[in-house]
Amino acid sequence: MILDWITFGEPLSFWQMLLRIVAAVVLGAMIGIDREMKNRPAGMRTHILVCLGAALIGLVEQETIAHVVALGTSHINVSVGRLTAAIVSGVGFLGAGTIVIAERRISGLTTAASLWCAACLGLAVGAGFTTMAIIACLVVLLVLKLMRRIIHVRTYKRLEVQFVNRAETLNDIRELFSKMQVTILDQDFHAENLEGEQNLYTNVYTLTMPGTTSYQDLIAALSEHPCIRAVRTRNV
């Protein structure tokens, strides 16, 4: 390909090294901008540095091979891929720093995976496979930006609703679920007799929602009901 500058066994020129470094910065920035727009722990600068660092390791490995080949002796062995393998496994520690575990919920896995992909893109660019890296970068962006729109996955949610006026409110809740295409898989009931006040009822619903339905919109719609006192999410 016209964008590939593969010169195994030959020293790289200044412009070849510069073009690979620039390509690594651009590809890392493309993925990092998506993460930064979504307020993820690792943004544009982090992805650029990971991709650039991996590209530099790829360049170092290329230059090392070229210098050994230039010696013209068979007494020196070159271990191809050792530095690359260290990068692929080592980036995992950086990715682990973006994973957050709070209240038994895990977030940041996608950002950790994007960092790992950025490192792989940098290695591909550093090795001279720029066309391959560009295609892979476009695929990564497709997954990050459009996958949820293309493939709708029905997810399970658990919702706790506290309300008064049981008969009227239950009917309104069911109508809202039906309108938003939310299916009730299971529900738990709890009633509390408050002294001097109406009974307070608590229902915990296990729901499945179509990919087109926003969980935030459902909570907002329930919160507007005058008989509903509280709405909160629960871990499944």
Label residue 150 by pLDDT band (50, 70, 90). Answer: low
- In the DSSP assignment, the letter for residue 72 is T
Q: What is the pLDDT of residue 3?
A: 58
The rounded percent of the chain whose pLDDT value lies above 70 is: 75
Give me the domains of the chain, ranges plus CATH numbers: 14-150 (no CATH), 155-234 (3.30.70.260)
User: Mean pLDDT of all residues in the chain?
Assistant: 78
What pLDDT digit, counting tens, does each position of 24-78 carry?
Answer: 888 888 888 887 777 777 778 888 888 888 888 888 787 777 776 776 666 666 6
Does residue 235 or residue 13 have the better pLDDT?
Answer: 13
Question: What does the pLDDT read at residue 80?
Answer: 64
DSSP element (H, E) containing 185: strand 183-192
Percent of the chain with pLDDT over 90: 0
Within 10 angstroms of residue 160's Cβ, the number of other Cβ atoms is: 15
pLDDT above 70 for 218: yes
**How far apart (Å, rounded) are the C-alpha atoms in residues 148 and 145?**
8
Lowest mean pLDDT among 52-56, 84-88, 180-184, 210-214: 210-214
The answer to whether 9 and 66 are in contact (CB under 8 A) is yes
